[in-house]
Amino acid sequence: MVPYVVKMAVDMKMNRQISTLVGNLEYYYAVGCLKRMTGDERLSSDVAPHEIEPIVREIIAGWETEDETEKYLKVLLDRYEAEDDYNDDVKNMFRIGTGEVSA
């Protein structure tokens, strides 16, 4: 249930262009979406939050898109500062974002 709620929250934020990401569960789902959209192999659920954050910032700085949802994903990711929380639930949210597994 929790993965579905997190997925829906981030999807709604991207589509409605509102709010900010709350916690690493939402952040890693969003990073998984970024990997699905860009195909950048540097993004992985095995990379800890404070290590993945600069990679995400580099990717979004150079990523050009005309899609409004993708543009707002960039905003959400840019605003977020990674927390220390990093566990199997966080890793699973990344995989849900990439489409590897479903919520």
Q: Residue ranges per domain, the chain?
A: 2-98
Q: What is the pTM for the complete model shown?
A: 0.92
> Where are the alpha helices (H) located in 20-67, listed in sequence order?
23-38, 49-62
The answer to whether 18 and 75 are in contact (CB under 8 A) is no
Inform me whether the pLDDT recorded for 88 exceeds 80. yes
In CATH terms, the fold of domain 2-98 is Methane Monooxygenase Hydroxylase; Chain G, domain 1 (1.20.58)
* Whole-number percent of the chain with pLDDT over 90: 81
Cα-Cα-Cα-Cα dihedral sign, residues 88, 6, 49, 43: positive
